Structure 1
């Protein structure tokens, strides 16, 4: 075994919770996507990309475990013909409606842009991530929101640079989550009858939100959406009611078996106490920022087989 010179770069992309949405199909995947509204969080996924002649095949890991990572793999294949190693460290639960696939796709795109010296603009990198999500049915609108930060209203569908977005002004308020189980986004998006009910409820929610675009109304519209679509089960409804009894507001993260909640009053930690009866409570804040490079392109000497 000999030491190899491996170039690496690291990027962070934030999580995103969609409160409600409407699916928009299109022959052009750049124009395919969703409208709706959601919250970008201060936690997310940190992605490190390694490149070098000694890397023989593309490998992806999540929290130290080898995964297929098809959405991330699609991003890598779109940006380079060379094999790369991608290591993702998640600060958020996976397949729980927190936009993990979009965060991983964005982090991979930005890190590859740095390590390979591609000199692509943010819009182009965001579009690569969006296309990967659409191709793999892992998401439709997370990338658009994650590329902006805050409480993002996706007014028209499509990738960044094509879709029209707005934001509800906000500070870095607390957001509490409790995960009740995993739910695959593709398992819902690939069911035609479910998409139809989602679109009807999503259009109604958007109209109500635009009448009064506030954080509180967003939460209320999201709660109604989860009920009208039938996506929320009895357990989720029970958690939402418990939060409301503590003067909080809650809804279901789309698409996930997760409840997210916010306080009517700042720093009201009673919400966390209520949620703790249903599982491990995760506390985040609204992130008004976006994707960022943590470490730019650098070379390290390492044994390649220590990353296999």
Structure 2
């Protein structure tokens, strides 16, 4: 005969049952806005989006949470327009437009499955960028680059230097794996567009990478814990450093990590490099190669010439700054 179950056994069973009930209660009601959101989050389309896009969409869903029980039958274009207007007042025009894009994607991927009849976000007009709004992700000056690098902890300095010297998007730079660096070339698909990039490592970046502390992470970059950076962790550290230097007057307001990507494009344009050359280096408009490409050296060789121009431009700007530094009296 089997012994009677112990009180502990029944206690564990009740805990499991309570957890299952809680999970059922957390599931959105069928035929509601919440159910549409849940369906979209389970699609491959959402799972394949860049980490920053996923984060933006999750934040948008959090904003919609108070109205998650809205019946699908009640959803209309005027309703979505009203949600968009209210979000613009509460969160600003940019976050409101991200919310609108998110809602549109949710509807788009629910339509084929019969969960909603049409995309009610299509007719809603995005909010215009205010005329007096500061430029987003503006280019950094040479002095600002140096101020941030010199004030950074080694791990942050390595991250900023990698973005600055390659033009990689911050999310791509943070996720760059060691096996995506072959010799002195970075082979990396952009997370956002899946366009292939072949970025040669120049002398400036090589010197910066040698300064970085050793770590065992699979990625080229790592935080002070020795583990791969998370985007939120990197942003938090960057914001603390930025506020500190802004307070000292060492940098002007408005710096963002992505601005370093625009910095490379700006410097290369000012150095006379063509738009196509810049696009090839930054993987903006060149044909998608994918990580399965043959690594034929043509693109890397072409981009090496562009990196050499950037290196010369970096040196030129350094020479312009030097006389100013020498003239400062203690």
TM range (shorter): under 0.3
Larger Rg: 2
Provide the TM-score with structure 2 as the length reference: 0.26
Higher relative contact order (CA 8 A, sep 6+): 1
The structure carrying a bigger helix percent of its residues is: 2
Provide the TM-score with structure 1 as the length reference: 0.27
